[in-house]
Amino acid sequence: MRVFYLHGFVSSPKSTKVQYFTEMLGRLGVDVRSPDFNEPDFRTMTMTRMLQQLEHDLATSSEAATLIGSSLGGTLAILAAAQFADRVGRLVLLAPAVRFGDPRHHVLPPDRIEIWKARGEFEFFHYAHGAPRRLAYAFYEDSLKHDAFGTLFTQPALIFQGSRDTLVNATDVQQFAATRPNVNLTLLDDDHQLIASLPRVWSEVQPFLGLK
């Protein structure tokens, strides 16, 4: 079984959730690969580059992979499932930013988007580095080309969404899941990180992946 964990925005393969799933799957003999989408440089990161990196990794084997995506990583997993359908077998989405391609649901409010555009780059606190890192405005422009909310895919998927999430609107995720019969949504009493709910999430992910 091939499993890829796709980390979120201003995160990395060292995040708490990556480590959790790596440990739980590792106990069952399953290795988890987590590409670092900050590489080679966070400043020049775009969704298109992230998709290209993932496509390259998926191409290393003909076996269809499971994608576990968190927040922006969930957006990426949705797009990849449609674009690389023969290489993706199933999805586990944790608070996926399904509206990310919409300017009204982005990482910054409209007034700061204008500042970002004027400056050509903007500083975001990067949790993996514990310090601010600059990101070029090209990231925002490129992201508008990738509409996860309007993307259809056929692979089975689980979504876990916190009802108290202040970054990803739970109603948007519910609407996304409601129009896709291949998607099962679990709404949890949790925030965006879903850390407190990880044991519950794992209790559903394990049988979904056919693991005992």
**Segment 136-187, tens digit of pLDDT:** 999 999 999 999 999 999 999 999 999 999 999 999 999 999 999 999 999 9
Query: Residue 42 and residue 84: Cα distance in Å, rounded?
Result: 24
137 or 102, higher pLDDT = 137
pLDDT, residue 27, reads 97
121-133 residue pLDDT tens:
999 999 988 999 9
Is the per-residue pLDDT at 102 higher than 90?
Answer: no
- Average pLDDT in the chain: 96
Q: Which residue has the tokens 């949705």?
A: 78
pLDDT, residue 106, reads 83
Mean pLDDT, residues 45-61 = 96
What is the DSSP pairing of strand 131-136 with strand 121-126?
antiparallel
Is the per-residue pLDDT at 15 higher than 90?
Answer: yes
46 or 212, higher pLDDT = 46
pLDDT, residue 174, reads 98
Least-confidence region, from 44-53, 96-105, 150-159, 194-203: 96-105
Mean pLDDT, residues 37-62 = 95
Mean pLDDT, residues 36-44 = 96
Please give the CATH number for the structural domain made up of 2-208: 3.40.50.1820
Mean pLDDT, residues 85-102 = 95
pLDDT, residue 101, reads 83
DSSP 64: P
pLDDT, residue 123, reads 97
Q: Domain ranges in the chain?
A: 2-208
Residues of the chain above pLDDT 70, percent? 100
Tokens of 74: 């969930």
Query: Residue 127 and residue 14: Cα distance in Å, rounded?
Result: 10
Strands (E), the chain: 2-6, 32-33, 65-70, 88-94, 121-126, 131-136, 157-162, 183-188
pLDDT, residue 157, reads 98
Is the per-residue pLDDT at 68 higher than 90?
Answer: yes
Q: Yes or no: say if 76 and 92 are a contact pair by the CB < 8 Å rule.
A: no
DSSP code string of 111-159: HHHHHHHHHSEEEEEETTTTEEEEEETHHHHHHTT--STT----S-EEE
